[in-house]
Structure 1
């Protein structure tokens, strides 16, 4: 499946590949953390990174800690992931001379998992072990014997055997251990995973990449160790304590921003296909045209620094409400990109900021007209701080210089529709027209046509989000 780089992440992936190339031969191992907010695309980056590394050179174990947290002992989950990866590699004919060490490692890890599981769950796995021995008796002597089972009971002995397997694999492969979704685990489990990784990989030729949201993980670390920094001092706070603890496991931490969307309509997952370019033959001088280029510019600026998961939720909500509005029989004269932009901004107001109010045009004393969310700039909205970037993006995109509107006949503080942005500001703000002439009245007639449809859209949006 083709993966689209919506957030221009390839330079970050290249950085990771360079670090791996420089440190993967380190006999004592190396570990890095990708530190990014929830939804910033860490999993996507890891998947892309793995797909771009040569499979004949790297042995990659991808361990999703959250998906495997039903194992009480993280080591069992980690070994299960390693086993699955090795079994997949064994199916590849091109591994040639590496087949023996892969098969031997599978047998050894299978026994370790079996013993750990049997002792914990009381399951008799002797039949499974017999099947393994029968299918590969020649390798059995080179791996563990039945007598070794008794020595595996202590967890420390199991860890020694795993480390031995990694040492045997290392001459044939560069070993990469990828750990994802750690910050979604329960605090105690997340800490246990970190400890097990340290026990397995410490001073071993293994390159680790751990995806985390450090701020989230910091809270978990402090909670587990009973540290309360409700009134932090400059010398003691949650993040400092977490950083000190994480130094044990992580050599370097690489911050990941929420990214900047490409100027492409593909970020909308097909939502734009229900809309069209805005063109009117009866528009007066200085025609306005909402085309794909303008829509791409809006999307790139509006969602700059906004995590991909939130973008997808917004587009999904818009798509659903738009279809439900069409189902009422209400029709827009032209379901243009101008209508789509209104629907996106309206969804952000309702879905993100939990506000039924939309926007207002702010007449600034610094010589600009600015479009802002009503409940974000001018009230104590509890979501305003968390999603401040969205509000700032809207304000930055819709900021017009008053001198652009100045002429012999028009005062500089009079808002006048002359281009796409000024048209949208009037569509989104729903304010009185101050300056009247034939051209402006024509624009407002177009806005009124769209408003009939969009008022029904807003009603459905509010019903879904505020009356459920």
Structure 2
């Protein structure tokens, strides 16, 4: 029995073996682009949080290694405790380059010179020299003026001399870095993946961007940044003020942007069902006639809601992991009403006030049915068995066996069935709703809403990790 999803396994010899999202074609095409792009270049993989950016670039990195193309991975978020991104970046690169360089003496010598120059830059600090390179986006004239004023006002401290020395250190860094790339990459571009930039402290994220563009602007280097551009824009505004054109600012640092392809959610959910071994849970239940469709109801309703709500891959994983835990304590022949369970769990997550009113003794089904109709567009609703199924269960769970007629929504569906004017699809939808209300779990069985609520409340005691973006 598997209660949670393990991180994707990336086989060194076959990186795409366990890829659930079909990313191979995208990565092969991007690898071809990188091999032909004029370097230096910065490519942004732009996608919102939870859409699988980290998995994507990890797969890409391993593919390049398998293709004997030099590459390195740097997780910016794991290093933003450092005061200076340059220090942490060079430190992480140093670890990765040990394997890449191997016994190449000339490359090792060039890298040592690069590190030495980098240490001088980090020691002296480069706030003005780097940011002047973004002239037109921030007030470069003001920066220069401030630097000259500081220099003129403190000549005794050799501020101007320090300014010139750090400029020289940057030049030496560029020369050493170019020499290193030439001697180590064997004619192929060195691809450096920078992950989770948008999760860093605003100052750290912006400083790292600035250093990448102005210190590593060297032929033979290609940076791939995994980020959420909208979120990074907020970081830029936090550093430089709300008046800054964050989109224009980012254009100074990024040469190409690539939007990750929207994955097929139905296929992904199907893969997650297999990964969580949910079929093993449902298989013995199929011997009971009234439970034999539980697996289909769970999968199809969850897919309908995830697709229409445009849930991220991370949200899909976490919600399905929650559902998995919620049902695992059920007996083999116990009614769990998976269609209703899924909808209520998602309602609690995204519409908590309406959910609380529904599960309380005083609430009715109307508010959550309105929410269901918001999720499923009217143009698709009449043909959606899953939507009708959920609507029927929402009514049944709030109605006693001898009080069904008190639901105005149920009365409306019954009127539709009697109407001679409405079309077949509308009548078919209403027929499903009415049948579910009348027989939610077969003859003689009703929906135990309190039991479903207890399962959902129990999930509140668990905490699910959201470490990967």
TM-score, length-normalised on structure 2?
A: 0.64
2:421 maps to which residue? none
2:367 maps to which residue? 374
Q: Deviations over 1:62-120 (max 9, x none)?
A: 121111112222222222222212212356xxxxxx73344334544554566667889
CA–CA separation in structure 1 for the residues paired with 2:334 and 2:258: 43
1:212 to 193, 214, 227: 227
Q: Is 1:89 matched up with 2:93?
A: no
8 Å contact kept, 1:29–1:202: yes
2:348 maps to which residue? 350
8 Å contact kept, 2:76–2:196: yes
Q: Is 1:67 matched up with 2:78?
A: yes
CA–CA separation in structure 1 for the residues paired with 2:28 and 2:208: 27
8 Å contact kept, 1:259–1:307: no
Deviation of the 1:457 alpha carbon: 1.8
CA–CA separation in structure 1 for the residues paired with 2:74 and 2:457: 45
2:451 to 443, 450, 453: 453
Describe the shift of the 1:351–1:300 C-alpha distance in structure 2 as closer, same or farther (beyond 3 A). closer
1:167 maps to which residue? 182
2:281 to 269, 275, 282: 275
Deviation of the 1:442 alpha carbon: 7.3
Spell out the pairing of 1:35-114 with structure 2 (5 A cutoff).
35-55=46-66, 57-90=68-101, 99-109=104-114, 111-112=116-117
1:400 to 342, 359, 382: 382
Describe the shift of the 1:151–1:447 C-alpha distance in structure 2 as closer, same or farther (beyond 3 A). same
Q: Deviations over 1:411-435 (max 9, x none)?
A: xxxxxxxx77644432244355456
CA–CA separation in structure 1 for the residues paired with 2:436 and 2:387: 20
CA–CA separation in structure 2 for the residues paired with 1:289 and 1:420: 16
Moved more, 186-195 or 448-457: 448-457
Q: Deviations over 1:334-367 (max 9, x none)?
A: 357x63443332221112332352899xxxxxxx
CA–CA separation in structure 1 for the residues paired with 2:435 and 2:279: 35
Task: Quote the RMSD (CA, aligned, Å).
Answer: 4.2
Moved more, 293-302 or 164-173: 293-302
- Secondary structure class of the residue paired with 1:38: coil
Describe the shift of the 1:196–1:282 C-alpha distance in structure 2 as closer, same or farther (beyond 3 A). closer
Moved more, 426-435 or 151-160: 151-160
1:301 maps to which residue? 304
Moved more, 346-355 or 30-39: 346-355
2:191 maps to which residue? 176
Deviation of the 1:213 alpha carbon: 0.8
Q: Is 1:222 matched up with 2:204?
A: no
Spell out the pairing of 1:382-421 with structure 2 (5 A cutoff).
399-401=381-383
CA–CA separation in structure 2 for the residues paired with 1:302 and 1:447: 27
Deviation of the 1:207 alpha carbon: 1.7
1:17 to 18, 31, 35: 31
The answer for unaligned runs of 5 or more in structure 2 is: 1-8, 11-16, 126-164, 359-364, 405-409, 415-433, 464-469
Deviation of the 1:163 alpha carbon: 3.5
CA–CA separation in structure 2 for the residues paired with 1:84 and 1:350: 45
TM-score, length-normalised on structure 1?
A: 0.64
Deviation of the 1:46 alpha carbon: 0.3
1:365 maps to which residue? none
Moved more, 32-41 or 46-55: 46-55
CA–CA separation in structure 1 for the residues paired with 2:54 and 2:233: 20
8 Å contact kept, 1:290–1:420: no
CA–CA separation in structure 2 for the residues paired with 1:343 and 1:75: 50
The answer for unaligned runs of 5 or more in structure 1 is: 92-97, 121-149, 229-237, 361-371, 379-389, 403-418
Describe the shift of the 1:188–1:395 C-alpha distance in structure 2 as closer, same or farther (beyond 3 A). same
- Secondary structure class of the residue paired with 1:158: helix
Aligned residue pair count: 367
Task: Judging by fraction of residues, say which structure has more helix.
Answer: 2
- Secondary structure class of the residue paired with 1:303: helix
1:94 maps to which residue? none
- Secondary structure class of the residue paired with 1:334: coil
Describe the shift of the 1:256–1:447 C-alpha distance in structure 2 as closer, same or farther (beyond 3 A). farther
Describe the shift of the 1:356–1:458 C-alpha distance in structure 2 as closer, same or farther (beyond 3 A). farther
Describe the shift of the 1:420–1:167 C-alpha distance in structure 2 as closer, same or farther (beyond 3 A). closer
Q: Deviations over 1:215-267 (max 9, x none)?
A: 11112212322233xxxxxxxxx7xx222111211112122365332155432
Spell out the pairing of 1:233-252 with structure 2 (5 A cutoff).
241-252=245-256
Q: Deviations over 1:378-433 (max 9, x none)?
A: 6xxxxxxxxxxx9865568982359xxxxxxxxxxxxxxxx776444322443554
8 Å contact kept, 1:80–1:113: no
